[in-house]
Amino acid sequence: MTHTAFIGVGNMGGPMSRNLAQSGQEVKVFDLSPTAMQAAAEGGAVPSQSATQAVEGAATVITMLPEGKHVKAAYLDEGGILDTAEPGTLFIDCSTIDVASAREVATAAKARGFRMIDAPVSGGTVGADAATLTFMIGGDAADVEAARAQLEKMGKTIVHCGGSGNGQAAKICNNMIGGITMIAVSEAFCLGERLGITAEDLQKVVAASSGSCFAVTNYLPVAGPTPLSPANFDFKPGFMTKLMLKDMRLSQMAAVETGQPSPLGAQAAMLYAMAEQEGLADLDYSSIIHLFNKGRVK
Ligand code: NAD
């Protein structure tokens, strides 16, 4: 058992698998999308015909899939990862999913003699490319240590947040902040434009003032001041609106379950649902600015 299996090599998993492969280890990848497989192969990974083929004999299995239902199916379905992996294999799920699904899969994995951590990430496709992701981890301390060398090849900050599912808990709290602040920044930059201030000047001011946040310093929804943000590339993702909507809904489900009032999170979830209806689902989530500018700000 030497190689790493990587299942789901889309916008995030693609560059993450490339960084692992370029560190010198054998990485066998599988994705339902031929385009994603092609890109991963160009990054140095070995394409497999199926998830089963990738997982057979792997020391570590990493998954980076869209939602809880995909993760549950990949691990728990007949012939899935739990049926295929060798006992003792370490599973690292980097997808952003609901806490309950993360705990269900980890419990099933441990009952079958596997080790598993939930390790969702922050930092976006830029962080995935540059291997500067933040990993927030739920699971046993020994399993986090066993995963550390692999995670350090894909990221720079590793925070162990407690038992299974706690990585996902940290992630949905973080993304609730990210989703809300992107809307605030969109509104403010549209207002600034109406008031006659350029996006360049406003960005310089806010980045050095109390309104500063990731959406202003790295990911402005207006082309120009932050050169790597998707606004400079016709809002090509990045992080799709439909995935941000998923995360906002996860935060609201958690708020209901725990009785925590979350009025801005609820409003933001509604606005991303409206953005999806406006045809922005597959664009980057920063395209939510289109709800406020209607053709004025590019
Ligand atoms: P993506 O849609 O680009 O990639 C997901 C990939 O999974 C796709 O290529 C898809 O074909 C593949 N897939 C789906 N089901 C599969 C299966 N059963 N077997 C094999 N492959 C399968 O999405 P992404 O942006 O890479 O996001 C992946 C996860 O990472 C999501 O949970 C997302 O919320 C999270 N995330 C994304 C970002 C970001 O900036 N894009 C940042 C942090 C976290």
Tell the residue nearest (CA) to atom 42 of ligand 1: 124
Q: Is the CB of 289 under 6 A from ligand 1?
A: no
Dihedral over Cα of 194, 195, 200, 203: its sign: negative
249 lines ligand 1 (CB under 6 A): no
Specify the domain boundaries for CATH 3.40.50.720 within the chain.
4-163
Q: How far is the CA of 187 from the centre of ligand 1 (A)?
A: 28
Residues of the chain with CATH 1.10.1040.10: 168-293
Determine the distance separating the centroid of ligand 1 and the alpha carbon of 64, expressed in angstroms: 5
First-to-last alpha carbon distance for the chain, in angstroms, is: 51
Ligand 1 atom closest to residue 13's alpha carbon, by position in its atom list: 26
* Count of C-beta atoms within a 10 Å radius of residue 109: 24
Beta strands in the chain (DSSP E): 4-7, 27-30, 46-47, 60-63, 90-93, 115-118, 121-122, 133-138, 155-162
Ligand 1 neighbour 138 (Cβ under 6 A): no
Alpha carbon of 115 to those of 92, 106, 168: distances in Å? 9, 8, 17
CATH topology of domain 4-163: Rossmann fold (3.40.50)
Catalytic residue among 171, 236, 242, 298: 171
Question: Looking at residue 295, what is its pLDDT?
Answer: 58
Q: Is 17 in the pocket of ligand 1 (CB under 6 A)?
A: no
Closest CA to 219 of 127, 150, 145, 140: 127
User: pLDDT tens track of the chain, all 298 residues?
Assistant: 689 999 999 999 999 999 999 999 999 999 999 999 999 999 999 999 999 999 999 999 999 999 999 999 999 999 999 999 999 999 999 999 999 999 999 999 999 999 999 999 999 999 999 999 999 999 999 999 999 999 999 999 999 999 999 999 999 999 999 999 999 999 999 999 999 999 999 999 999 999 999 999 999 999 999 999 999 999 999 999 999 999 999 999 999 999 999 999 999 999 999 999 999 999 999 999 999 997 554 4
Ligand 1 pocket check: which of 32, 53, 118 to mutate, most ligand atoms within 8 Å of Cβ? 32
168-293: CATH, from 3.30.450.40, 3.20.20.140, 1.10.1040.10, 1.10.290.10: 1.10.1040.10
Q: Which of 64, 244, 287 to mutate to test the pocket of ligand 1 (most atoms within 8 A of CB)?
A: 64
Q: Would you call 156 a catalytic residue per the annotation? A: no
Instruction: Answer yes or no: is the C-beta of 32 below 6 A from any ligand 1 atom.
Output: yes
Backbone φ, ψ for residue 46 (5° rounding) = -100, 120
Residue 183 and residue 268 in contact, taking contact as beta carbons nearer than 8 Å: yes
Predicted confidence at residue 19, as pLDDT, reads 98
pLDDT at 294: 74
Question: Measured in whole angstroms, how far is the alpha carbon of residue 32 from the centre of its chain?
Answer: 18
**Total-model pTM:** 0.93
Determine the residue of 154, 239, 245 to mutate for testing ligand 1's pocket, defined as the one with the most ligand atoms within 8 A of the Cβ atom: 239
pLDDT of 296? 53
